[in-house]
Structure 1
Amino acid sequence: MMSWISALVWVVLASTGPAHEPETPPARPVLVELFTSQGCPLCPAANLYLGELDERDDVIALGFGVDYWDIYGWRDTYAQPAFTERQRTYKNRLNVPRVYTPQFVIDGAAEAEGQQTDAILSALQRRRMAMMAGVHVTTQATGNGNHTIEVSGTPPSASEVWLAVFEPGWHTVAVGAGENAGLDMQLYNPVRALIPLGHWAGGAA
């Protein structure tokens, strides 16, 4: 695996229980996904805010490039149809009328427009209060580029385990056409691949 690629494993709960204050701090940060496009005029500011959110200890921030802006003159260098489909899945799950950018999805349970920072922060707080503390994910290098992933604990419901492969930190893309033509656009933690590792209902796996 190339040195500029990092991997992240996270557990997505299929459903959530009522919000409550956990007895101990949550075992994992809240996942914040930004659906973005290099052709979207509102997305540069949202990408900057994604990086700002990732400065918090309780957040994991990832950027997903969607491809439906490509028809307007610029082919997004990070966009993938699978990421657009992921956003459409959230549209149905969260009862959003349409897909759009920039869209923040907080832990798969809430969404907000890129400029709605108060709504994003409120959703982060609600997710921290609702999260279970007993889920743990660890990885260990085993040589030759291989890793062992262990998941343990007791989720409140059946869950899915995902592996995200992304380029960590800030990356600059010189946009040559479309709505952002001429802009050196800053992207944060852009995802390159999203791999389902399987279902998990609790215990060691």
Structure 2
Amino acid sequence: MPLCSTNADETKHWHKLLNGDQQALAFFYERYADYLLKYGLSVTYNRDMVQDAVQELFINIWNRRQNLSVPDSVKYYLMVSLRRIILKDLLHARQSTDVFSEEALSFASHESLFADEYKEDVHLKLQHAVRLLPARQQEIIFLRFFQKLSYEQITTVTGLDYQILRNTIYRAIKTLRHSLSEKIALTSVLSIFPLLI
């Protein structure tokens, strides 16, 4: 479905939601709940907390619908809102983030990239290396390379300044290149992360 058609469809459903249509809320929940769970697990690897945060997000939308406006992008609105809830919960619980879940970077979800056992081994090493990055870098690597968001989209989701975002990605890639070059051939790394060049 073309993006403009999707946006028009979502705008129509968002207006219905604002007018108290529970089916419109269900429409967004069915469309984005799984995606939001995966994204939430890139912010903190605490499945229970993320599941609760996704539920809280949709409850908040329903309860505050009369005060909401129509977002330019429902997807990014949901991501930003979920991120705020998770960070608030982490601060409240005084927990530290441990980011990427097995599911978010699972071999099955990227099997087209890893056709043989060697590439699977490379992927596992990459997964391990990403987990060693600081939490903020892990989240940004997830958004940039696994969710394929643009820099502008990531600044919208995270609230980071564009230059700070680029510097953070540069530092994360530099760390990953150094870490992975000791374990696997650089050509294998580049086949996974073509933008590491």
> Normalised by the shorter chain, which TM-score bucket?
under 0.3
When you count strand as a share of all residues, which structure comes out higher? Answer: 1
Q: When the two structures are superposed, what TM-score results if normalisation uses the length of structure 1?
A: 0.23
Q: What TM-score do you get using the length of structure 2 for normalisation?
A: 0.24
* Higher RCO structure, 1 or 2 (CA under 8 Å, sep 6+): 1
Which of the two has higher C-alpha Rg? 2
